A = this chain, B = another copy of it.
């Protein structure tokens, strides 16, 4: 059961909500979930204790919110980048690039997502299983393009693995630029062109 959060109803409320969310990202990524207390979060966010509980019932509720927000933002970035594209090859390329560009912009995302391994392993499993399922559904729509002799669940984990690790390759660089992203994306596509597509 996911812990619920409550949306802000006013502009001022939204500002407090966003301050709490930002503080949570920074602190969970820095010290980890277990070492961060609600007191740490409200101190960092500079809001009153009562304000926190307007939006979140617990520390876990905030963490769940962050995980869902990242999942949604990552999907959104991919959707925007692939809008109007008609081949799976183009969608794969632009989706991969969008994911890495997002990770560059939000370097805390990896930490907060992988932190789920320590918060509750089921969250981590749920996070990647949901991505895998949606990947499989999307790949199924391109039977004329995608090889039919490879198990799609395995393909979905392979593609998530490539995106995550080629993303790390970029994040490991000092001051990476979009051209670095294009480079690793193009190299990855060479492998997929022959390996995944017909």
Contact of A165 among B34, B160, B184 (CB under 8 A): B160
Let me know if A78 is at the binding interface, CB within 8 A.
no
Task: Verify A187–B32 contact, CB threshold 8 A.
Answer: no
Quick check: is A128 within 8 A (CB to CB) of the other chain? yes
Interface 9-mer from A50-58, A61-69, A145-153: A145-153
Interface residues on A, range: 35 or more
Alpha-carbon distance A114/B115, docked complex (angstroms): 9
Per-residue contact bits, chain A 152-192, to B (CB 8 Å; 1 contact, 0 not): 01110110111111101100100000000001100110111
Establish whether residues A165 and B157, one from each chain, have CB atoms under 8 Å apart when the complex forms: yes
Q: Is the interface of A mostly helix, strand, loop or mixed?
A: helix
Q: A35 contacts which chain B residues (CB < 8 A)?
A: 32, 34-35
A117 adjacent to B111 (CB under 8 Å): yes
Is residue A31 contacting chain B, with contact meaning CB distance below 8 A?
Answer: yes
Say yes or no: A154-B195 contact (C-beta < 8 A), given A128-B168, A172-B129. Answer: no
**A151 interface neighbour in B125, B151, B187, Cβ under 8 Å:** B187
- Chain B residues closer than 8 Å to A163, beta-carbon distance: 161
Q: Does A99 contact B (CB under 8 A)?
A: no
Can you spell out 6 A-B residue pairs with CB atoms less than 8 angstroms apart?
Answer: A32-B118, A111-B117, A151-B183, A161-B164, A164-B164, A191-B191
